[in-house]
Structure formats: structure tokens, C-alpha cells
Amino acid sequence: NAGVTQTPKFQVLKTGQSMTLQCAQDMNHEYMSWYRQDPGMGLRLIHYSVGAGITDQGEVPNGYNVSRSTTEDFPLRLLSAAPSQTSVYFCASKRQGARYSNQPQHFGDGTRLSIL
Amino acid sequence: QQPVQSPQAVILREGEDAVINCSSSKALYSVHWYRQKHGEAPVFLMILLKGGEQKGHEKISASFNEKKQQSSLYLTASQLSYSGTYFCGTAYSGAGSYQLTFGKGTKLSVIP
């Protein structure tokens, strides 16, 4: 059981370049989310999705786009990378619904992104 | 709004106890606790649902006071393996109760 898989693990970009961070889960979880983690700031929610075709903004959405065409995949796009987006990005998934309120959120291993 | 965690950092000797607190300004539906070691993903410890229940995981337990909108994580007889940063994630009552908002973390260092 792979769980939540993120690719790539490391990436270096130049300012203005675009790229997509990939996230896939094989647990049939409805809820998926993207966080960024910066020193001293904890995990901040970027975007989330409650199912295929449904996405919404989190706390820090500016500069990022998402889409959810399938239950399994939830890619995060940086359209024009900026140095302020240098961070560690985590994708997470969870079963959704009141009956699953005692179920944990599963995290991927993270993508370490540096923008020069 | 991010929940507020305290303390920000704590240093313990092996065998000592610690308490980490997590407070919210909004009504809580549930509180999740995670531990993260340097360079790794957060690892799930436990979930507490509203109702004031207490849970345990080996020598780590937690409580949830719904009225005070706060949760506490208790680490007893700490071991070197307990070192890491602890995060609480809070889900708020109402729509979006599945969405977790994390605190800034508490860095715990256990020394011999």
C-alpha cells in the first residue's frame, strides 16, 4: 500500500519558471490538500479538494493553482515561481464525512522546492 | 486562524515529563496531534473528538477540553525517540470540519 506519493522529492527552479508538483493517493480518500511548511510557521494550507471536480482555497493560495480530475490525483501548479515560494510542500489525504471524523490525515514525504 | 501552541520549545532529560498545549479561538470539532522529525513527514499520533475524551498512545496521552477549546499532549518518562516537533491540527465545528489548521509547532528535544 503506497499511501500518499509525491513527486519530485527535490526541485530547483529559476524565478518565473513554472512547474507542477504531483500528488497521488491509493486509499480512495475523498479529501486531499496541499500544505507548505516554512521554518517557524508550521503547516499552512494552500488548497484543498473534497472530491473530483471540487477544489477550494486555503490560507495561502496566491501563486498556486490546483485541479482534481480524479479521486487519486491532486497536482499543485506554480505558474510563475517566485523566491517566496521556496518551501517544503506536503500533500495529504483523508477520508471525509462525519463517520470518518476519527480517521487520521495521511501525509506524503514532501517536495523540497528551491527557487533562485 | 491557526491554533496557538505552547511552549514553542522544550528541552528534557530522558525520563522527564512534558506537556504541550494547543488553544483555539474557535469552537473545535476535533484535535489531531502529529510528530515530525527533521526532514521527514508528520506522523500521526492521535485524534481527539469533542467530548473531553482522553486518549493514550504508549507513554503519550492527550486530553481535549471542549469548553476551553484547548487540548494538551502529555509525554511521560520521555525517551530519546520522542525528540521532534509536535503539531496540533484543529478542525472546527460546522461546514469544513474535515479541514485541518495546524499550529506553529513545539520543538521537543530529549537529551541523555
DSSP, collapsed to helix, strand or coil, labels residue B2 as coil
Q: CA A113, CA A21: separation in Å to the nearest integer? A: 10
Cell of A48: 484543498
DSSP 3-state of A44: strand
Query: pLDDT tens-digit profile of B5-41?
Result: 999 999 999 999 999 999 999 888 889 999 999 999 9
CA A112 to chain centre: 12
Is pLDDT of B94 > 80? no
Per CB-CB distance under 8 Å, the chain A contacts of B47 are 101-104
Comparing CA positions, the residue from B111, B103, B112, B108 lying closest to residue B38 is B108
**Band of the pLDDT at B96, cuts 50, 70, 90?**
low
Give B40-46 contacts, CB < 8 A, sequence gap 24+: B40/A109, B41/A90, B41/A107, B41/A108, B41/A109, B41/A110, B42/A43, B42/A90, B42/A107, B42/B87, B44/A104, B44/A105, B44/A106, B45/B73, B45/B86
Q: Give the Cα separation of A70 and B88 in Å (integer).
A: 29
CB contact under 8 A, B87 and A59: no
Nearest chain A residue to B42 by CA distance is A107
Q: What percent of chain A has pLDDT over 90?
A: 84
CB contact under 8 A, B102 and A42: yes
Note the pLDDT tens digit of each residue in B40-78: 999 999 888 876 566 666 789 998 888 889 999 999 999
Interchain proximity B44–A105, CB inside 8 Å? yes
pLDDT digits 0-9 by tens, A107-116 = 999 999 999 9
Nearest to B104 among A41, A108, A109 (CB): A41
* pLDDT confidence tier of residue A40, bands split at 50, 70 and 90: confident
Q: Which of A42, A103, A106 sits opposite B2 (nearest CB)?
A: A42
B37 grid coordinates:
522529525
The confidence score (pLDDT) of residue A84 equals 96
What is the mean predicted confidence (pLDDT) over A81-97?
94
Q: What is the 3-state secondary structure (H, E, C) of B67-82?
A: CCCEEEEEECCCCHHH
Residues of B with Cβ-Cβ distance to A108 under 8 angstroms: 41
Strand pairing report for A4-7 and A19-25: antiparallel
Going by C-alpha positions, the residue among B69, B74, B101 that lies closest to residue B88 is B101
At CB < 8 Å, which residues of chain A contact B? 31, 33, 35, 40-45, 48, 50, 58-59, 90, 94, 96-98, 101-110
How far is residue B65's CA from residue B85's CA, in Å, rounded to a whole number? 22
